[in-house]
Amino acid sequence: MAETSAFSLLVIGAHPDDCEFGAGGLAALCRRAGHQVMFISVTNGDAGHHLEGGGPLARRRLAETRAVAELMQLDYLVLDHHDGELEPSLANRWELVDIIRRIAPDLVLTHRLGDYHPDHRATAQLVLDASYLAKVPNIRALTPALRQKPVIGYLYDDFQRPVPFQPDLVIDIGSVVEQKLQMLDAHTSQVYEWLPFASGQAEPVFPDAAARQSWLQSTYLDTDQRLAERLRPQLAVRYGETHAAQVRFAEAFEISEYGQPWSKELEAKLGSVLPTPAGQA
């Protein structure tokens, strides 16, 4: 790892694999730079399959997250809440307050409030509520409060109502796309079984590893490819026109008004993960 860790990224998804899909590239860039990364799944994923369920599926998905943690040398926490039943309750809020205080992240990423899955929406509400209350000393008073809220960002989704996604931070993930694919590949129960079934496809069968890799990329990185095409002007602002024209895969994040504002100081802590925007060096 090239740098001493100065930056802490916390990605909070509703299910095992949500963090990887939404921010796997940024996480890989941060780990390569020596920064601290933690993934949290707020549910155990025990409903995300058409043939398995309950405890056996939850344990299988936990093993998949551990494979990702080992691969990327990051921390991965799966909370034991049932898939499909998550609510933004006080008990769940306090659980996240304690975790956010313990990690003290610079940047927290989570779903948007209008995302498609009820667990995603509940997770978003929990993160927004907990991130503010994590700095209030008399809330969970036996756990030391943060001095300030972290920056909060939203993972990309394509829903337009009630408000469309605002791409405040767009990054080139081309140099780590193989690591993102490896993270997704670890979630066998999802990318090769449940998600094809849920979209009306047959479970894929591959003649060799190359075919498996090609299918994985074309099926699950199409969003990252579309973002690179659609957000090329934003990429050009950060990377310059020449670099931006060559970007094939990108991730995008919206900065929430509920957290600290994005700052030059935060960009400096990220170091090599984010180049200085063109013309501002």
What is the residue type of 126?
Answer: L
> Phi/psi of residue 93, each to 5°?
-60, -45
Which residues, other chains included, contact 39 with Cβ-Cβ below 8 Å and sequence gap of 6+? Answer: 11, 13, 19, 20, 27, 65, 68, 69, 74, 75, 76, 77
pLDDT 10s digits, 4-30 = 458 999 999 999 999 999 999 999 999
Residue 49, by phi and psi: left (phi above 0), alpha (psi -120 to 50) or beta?
A: beta
d(C-alpha 86, C-alpha 80), whole Å: 10
Q: What pLDDT digit, counting tens, does each position of 86-109 carry?
A: 999 999 999 999 999 999 999 999
Give the Å distances, CA to CA, from 251 to 29, 223, 231, 281. Answer: 12, 9, 10, 23
pLDDT for 1:
35
Sketch out the chain's domains with CATH numbers: 8-273 (3.40.50.10320)
**Strand-strand pairing, 169-172 and 250-255:** antiparallel
Task: Copy the structure tokens of residue 79.
Answer: 């909370």
| 150-168 CB burial, b ≥16 within 10 A, e <16 | bbbbbbbbeeeeeeebebe
SS3 74: coil
9 neighbors 30 (Cβ within 8 angstroms)? yes
Closest by CA to 125, choosing from 136, 138, 111, is: 111
- Residue 201: band (very low, low, confident or very high) from pLDDT cuts 50, 70, 90: very high
Dist. CA 164–CA 230, nearest whole Å: 14
Angle at 172 between CA 170 and CA 173, to 5 degrees: 120
224: which DSSP letter?
Answer: H
Query: Identity (one letter) of the amino acid at 59?
Result: R
Segment 143-191, tens digit of pLDDT? 999 999 999 999 999 999 999 999 999 999 999 999 999 999 999 999 9
CB 7 within 8 A of CB 36: yes
pLDDT tens by residue, 252-280 = 999 999 999 999 999 999 988 988 776 66
Give residue for tokens 């496809």.
201
